[in-house]
Structures are given as structure tokens and as C-alpha cells.
Amino acid sequence: MIRRVLFALLLAAIAVYTVFPFYWALVGSFQSESRIFASPAYYVPAPPVLDSYRQVFSNATFVRALGNSVVVACATTLLALAAGSLAAYALARYRMRGREATLTVILALTMFPQISVVGAVHTVVTRLGLHNTLAGLVVSYMLITLPFTVWVLTNFFRSLPRELEESAYVDGATPLQTFWRVLMPLSAPGLVTTGLLTFISAWNEYLFALSLTVTDRARTVPVALANFAGASAHQTPWGAIMAASVVVTLPLVILVLVFQRRLVEGLTAGALKG
């Protein structure tokens, strides 16, 4: 009984420690600047005000950055899933020389810190003529998301029974038809899980977005949020920044809630294989 109580208290402490910053940002976004810094603090916005949200959505730079993030994150996710699923299928199903070495290299690529390659990525993107463009961001984000996508989907395809493919081959299906019509529908949990994690990674990415863009034309939400300015250059608009943080986080929360069932299925897929 004591162990259960201590474990419950530990979980509660971790939950409060994790959730409280987001709760405080949500509460602060509905309060005036004076109430945010009031002592004692107001933990419930009464009455709530929407001035911070009006300031956020009246900021053309932030609204444009929000649209840029949607385009870049969606394009990165679709391309990573399209290319990564084909590569993962080949690595999982076909015996080829150097397959395990290739998977090891792919796993190693996911461990490289972004700061170690940002200079090389900047050079490549500039020479391709994609500097300060959304396409340049998508190309650079693929460097982060594609290895992760291939690694996760390879393990997922390995968990599917080979008898499905053999039955399709007996019926005269080609390898591509087998992949598209048989394995892809069964891979929905893994694709949703990988796609959601890829989208979150692209949505939150900051370093490449900061290094590869110089104007508001191509900047994404993390950079716009870091550069968010109020009406006065001598005052930090904390209420508007909190409101912008809520606006940026809300799409991710909605996606996780909508695909929660698929997400759990994808994370546990293959756990009982064998």
C-alpha cells in the first residue's frame, strides 16, 4: 500500500511538473499583462480577456509564419512517408548485401545533432537556389525525418507475416502491387504513428528554419514566435507570446487526440511478434 501511494505521488509530481508550464501559458494568454505579473498570482483567468489573441492574429508576420509551418510540415510528412515506406519495405523484405550496415548507418544519422550539419545543409540549399524558400526547408527537414521514418517503418514491416505477400504473388501481383494493395492498408497504424511524429518534428524545428531563412516570406512559426514583438520595443508582450504558444501547440494536441487510437496501435505494433 505504501509503495502504491508513493508511486502515485511520484506520478502526480511528474504530471504537475510537465503540465504546469503549458497550463500557465494557457492561463496567461487569457489575462491582461498586469494580472500575469500580479502577486499573489492568478491561477484562474477571471474574467478572461482575448486581447492577447487579437494581438496575435492581427500580426501579419505570425499569421504568415503559421501558414508556412502548415505547408512545410505537411509536405515534409508526405514526402518522408512516401520515400521512407518504399525504402523500409525494401530493407525489411529483400535480402541484399549490406542491409544491416545500411540500417546501422540510418540509425546513426538520427543521432547526429543538427548543429553539426547546419553549415553543410546551408551550403547545399544555397547552391540549389533554395535559400529562404519553403522548398529549401522541406529539403533540409527531410535530412532529419527520413532516417527516422525508414528505421521505424522497417521494424514495422518486419512484424507483418510474409504469408500475405506470398499469397499475393500466387495471385499474380507484382511486388509494387503487393506493397500498395496488401501491406500499406495493414501498415496504417505504423504510418499514422510515424507521420504524426514526423509532423511534430517538422512543426517544432527551429535551427534550420532560423539558419535557412532571412525574411518573413519563408519563416516558420518557431522563428516567428522567438522574434515576436509587441507595440513597444521596450516591452516584451508576454500575454501575446503565451497566446501564440497556445495557438502553435493546439494543432499538435488536436492531432494526437484524433489519432490517439492509431498512435497507440502503432507504438505497440510488433511487440508480440513471435
pTM of the entire structure? Answer: 0.85
Q: Nearest Cα to 148, choosing from 88, 206, 189, 97?
A: 88
204/145 Cα distance (integer angstroms):
12
Tell whether the model's pLDDT for residue 9 goes beyond 80: yes
137/125 Cα distance (integer angstroms):
9
- The pLDDT > 70 percentage for the chain reads 93
Top mean pLDDT of 19-28, 92-101, 178-187 is at 19-28
Instruction: Compute the mean pLDDT over every residue in the chain, rounded to the nearest whole number.
Output: 85
Question: What is the pLDDT averaged over residues 252-263?
Answer: 80
Q: Cell numbers at residue 50, please?
A: 482575448
Residue 75's pLDDT is 96
Cell 522497417 maps to which residue?
Answer: 154
Residue 270's pLDDT is 47
109/208 Cα distance (integer angstroms):
16
Band of pLDDT at residue 272, cut at 50, 70 and 90 = very low
User: Which residues in the chain belong to E strands, given as ranges?
Assistant: none
Q: Are 139 and 120 in contact (CB under 8 A)?
A: no
144/117 Cα distance (integer angstroms):
10
Phi, psi of 49 (to 5 degrees): -120, 150
Question: Which of 79-83, 95-99, 142-146, 206-210 comes out lowest in average pLDDT?
Answer: 95-99
248/66 Cα distance (integer angstroms):
8
Q: What is the pLDDT of residues 114-132, one digit of tens each?
A: 888 888 899 999 999 999 9
Count Cβ neighbours within 10 Å for each residue of 194-220 and write b for 16 or more, e otherwise.
bbbbbbbbbbbbebbbbbbbeeeebbb
Tell whether the model's pLDDT for residue 44 goes beyond 60: yes
- The pLDDT > 90 percentage for the chain reads 30
> 201: Cβ–Cβ under 8 A, 6 or more apart, which residues?
141, 144, 145, 148
Q: What is the CATH number of domain 50-268?
A: 1.10.3720.10
Question: If you ran DSSP here, which 8-state letter would residue 219 be given?
Answer: -
259/198 Cα distance (integer angstroms):
14
Report the greatest alpha carbon distance in the chain: 74
Residue 239's pLDDT is 85
Q: Are 150 and 87 in contact (CB under 8 A)?
A: yes
Band of pLDDT at residue 180, cut at 50, 70 and 90 = confident
Total Cβ atoms within 10 A of residue 28: 24
Question: Which of 5-9, 28-32, 87-91, 263-267 comes out lowest in average pLDDT?
Answer: 263-267
Three-class DSSP category at 70: helix
Tell whether the model's pLDDT for residue 77 goes beyond 90: yes
Question: What is the pLDDT averaged over residues 16-27?
Answer: 89
Tell whether the model's pLDDT for residue 264 goes beyond 70: no
Band of pLDDT at residue 97, cut at 50, 70 and 90 = confident
Residue 35: in which H helix or E strand, if any?
helix 33-36
Tell whether the model's pLDDT for residue 186 goes beyond 90: no
Domain ranges of the chain: 50-268
